[in-house]
Amino acid sequence: MKHNFEQTLIEIEDILEDYKSTSGILTKDSVNCPCIHINLENENIYQDFSNRQLLKEEIFDYIDKSFHYTKKNTTCKLCIHFPREMQQEEKQNILRLIQIHYALKFKEASKEIRRTNIKGTISLFLGASLFFIFGLLEWYNVNFIFRGIIEIFSWVFIWEACDSYAFTNSKNRIDRFTYYMLYKASRTL
């Protein structure tokens, strides 16, 4: 069983490497840096009613998904293929919009990490306070009808703090790192 599992993992890696090299989504440039190719030649790239100030979300979805094909902790570049008749001013506007998008995403992810830290700290403080109250009730053997509820709530708040710090924040940090790398890639255009 273990051999089949390991063999399958090797096959999957081979399939993914073959796809990366033949799909045209990613290539390597002269310094062996992965390039995400974005073809804007035959598409309407602006959102409707945006007066050419917002790009379609599909472009960013494509960049985000393509980024997952790059190796972790590797800088990448965005290689954009513009229509030939497009003016240089409009090209610069598109590059600026991509950069602004990832700058905003990075900023939002950073705010979310701060929010999660505050929420976790408050939950931990409430859970510890309730647990302290429960301990006092136990110590003085007070027969309070809600003693069990206080204990349950204390553990719920403590668990919420652990969930915030360990799980939610780790996902937020991964997202922030992804946006950071894509922001850096958009600055090298």
Does residue 76 have a pLDDT over 90? Answer: no
Are the C-beta atoms of residues 137 and 144 closer than 8 Å to each other? yes
* pLDDT score for 156: 96
Lowest mean pLDDT among 22-26, 108-112, 147-151, 183-187: 22-26
Question: Would you place residue 152 in the very low, low, confident or very high pLDDT band (cuts 50, 70, 90)?
Answer: very high
| pLDDT range class, residue 3, cuts 50, 70, 90 | low
pTM of the model: 0.81
Q: Which residues contact 121 (CB under 8 A, 6 or more apart)?
A: 161
In the predicted model, what is the mean pLDDT of residues 160-173?
Answer: 93
Percent composition of the chain: helix, strand, coil (DSSP 3-state, to 5): 65, 10, 25
Residue 36 neighbours by CB distance under 10 Å: 22
Q: How confident is the model at residue 30 (pLDDT cuts 50, 70, 90)?
A: low
Max alpha carbon distance in the chain (Å)?
A: 83
pLDDT score at 2: 59
Q: Is the pLDDT of residue 189 over 70?
A: no
Question: Among 30-34, 159-163, 184-188, which range has the highest average pLDDT?
Answer: 159-163
Give the pLDDT of residue 175: 93
Lookup: tokens for 126: 């409430």
Give the helix ranges, DSSP H, for 68-168: 88-139, 147-162
pLDDT, tens digit, 9 for 90 and up, residues 88-113: 999 999 999 999 999 999 999 999 99
